[in-house]
Amino acid sequence: MHYDLIIIGGGLVGRSLACALSQAPLKIALIDANEQNLPDPRLIALNYGSVHFLEKLGLWPCLAPLSTPIHEVHVSHRGRFGATRLSAQTAHLPTLGSVLRASDINQALDETLSQARNPGQFTEWRPARVTTLTLHEKKSTLTLEYQGVESRLTGNLIIAADGSHSTIRRLLSFDTHTVDYQQSALVTTTRLGRPHENRAYERFLDEGALAMLPLKDKETQDRLCATIWTAGTPAIAALQSLEEPAFLQALQTQFGYRLGRLTGINRRAVFPLQLIQVKNPLQGNVLLIGNAAHTIHPIAAQGLNLALYEIAHLSQLLLRNLREQEPLGAGLAENLSRFQPKMNLLFSHYLSQIFAAGFWGSNFARQLGMVGLDLCPPIKKKLGRRMAMESIQWLTS
């Protein structure tokens, strides 16, 4: 069975790409190893550019009521002087971004794709496991196990968005740089004693960091936060094992009382942290995107935002090739630097290392840097707009 485009990985990244191309005259296959609608406990901070992109895809009308805008970000280091505040007003933007539950984004993608599907143009294979992949000059061949039967598919272009443990990256032996941070992230939602006022907090700790991002639901409205706590894996395991009152006390001690007394949490989920960076994500007509190409530390909330950045530019290129009747993958190699900007990829890695250093000189430099940044509005404005990715030319076709 032949397709113009095969997308491997049906998570947020793979389905976002399928959604971006859903109106194109392409025969598309989407392959995923998991059942549909598995629980997804992640909490996602989208920057302003990503929100704009989801608007272009037609997803935002159903996501907007479920999202919480970020108007200000407060950055501090526990037990140290100095703090930095970045605001949407200073950056001359309506918001710096929005916070959503991954499950809500998944549902919006499902609904949009179900409405956009043309008979015979879009086929979803799940749960299906890719077992072999062979590259050819004009089209590649893969075999997959689906409903107990082995199937053979060919594609002009294959995009792998199958996550940090990418099967395609392993099958094709992509040259990969990996760093195990020996850290994990604990994710939950926390009920607050006072309104969050659409303010996000990033608090660096002696070990790891703690993010409190504004969130809402029908019951708590503006007294709920998405909580992402990163630390060494043994420390996170110990936090995960605590009863709720003891966990709340530990969280209150580390974060403080800027959001009042913390009154409760929901279910906790834990994710191991590592850096995975593929040196060249393109082999023949196979391209890795998202976590398959670059898994990064969540300290700067760049992960899904970088993937949407890739999808926006990749979609533009593919649609241009269709209009100009070029091969679908034409120009990929020349545009890789646009799809995956190294500065953004490495920012989270080096930020995590800077705040992990514990000697006196680094502590003083960090504090001085935060105070200096807070006292320099032009730099704050530029940093705020860059982190919001406001200058990206998003998909408009």
Residue-by-residue DSSP string for 237-301? HHHHHS-HHHHHHHHHHHH-STT----EE---EEEEEEEEEES--EETTEEE-GGGTEE--GGG-
Assess whether pLDDT exceeds 60 at residue 261: yes
* pLDDT number for residue 260: 94
If you count them, how many residues does the chain have? 397
**Angstrom distance (rounded) from CA 105 to CA 19:** 12
* pLDDT number for residue 107: 92
277: tokens are 């960076």
Q: What is the 3-state secondary structure (H, E, C) of 39-55?
A: CCCCEEEEEHHHHHHHH
Q: Which has more pLDDT, 131 or 391?
A: 131
Residue spans of the domains in the chain: they are 2-178+273-387
The model's confidence at residue 341, banded by pLDDT at 50, 70 and 90, is low
* pLDDT number for residue 268: 96
What count of other Cβ atoms lies within 10 Å of the Cβ of residue 316? 18
Percent of the chain scored above 70 by pLDDT?
Answer: 82
213: tokens are 């991002």
Burial 226-256 (b: 16+ CB within 10 A, else e): bbbbbbeeebbeebeeeeeeebbeebbebbe
Contact 159, 6 (CB under 8 A): yes
Which of 27-41, 284-298, 308-322, 331-345 has the least mean pLDDT?
A: 331-345
Q: Tell me the CB-side half-sphere exposure of residue 286, using CA atoms within 13 A.
A: 25
| Topology classification of domain 2-178+273-387 | FAD/NAD(P)-binding domain (3.50.50)
Phi, psi angles (nearest 5°) of residue 209: -150, 160
**Angstrom distance (rounded) from CA 99 to CA 175:** 34
pLDDT in tens, 354-384: 445 444 344 444 444 433 434 454 444 454 4
27: tokens are 């025969």
pLDDT in tens, 68-94: 999 999 988 876 656 788 888 887 888
* pLDDT number for residue 120: 66
**Angstrom distance (rounded) from CA 271 to CA 273:** 6
To the nearest 10 degrees (0 to 180), the angle between helices 360-374 and 377-387 is: 100
For the segment 286-298, the average pLDDT, to the nearest whole number, is 89
**Angstrom distance (rounded) from CA 150 to CA 115:** 29
| Residue 25, preceding peptide bond in cis (omega within 30° of 0) | no
* Residue 50, phi-psi category: left (phi > 0), alpha (psi -120 to 50), beta (remainder): alpha
* pLDDT number for residue 148: 87
For the segment 127-156, the average pLDDT, to the nearest whole number, is 92
**Angstrom distance (rounded) from CA 185 to CA 269:** 8
Assess whether pLDDT exceeds 90 at residue 165: yes
The model's confidence at residue 335, banded by pLDDT at 50, 70 and 90, is confident
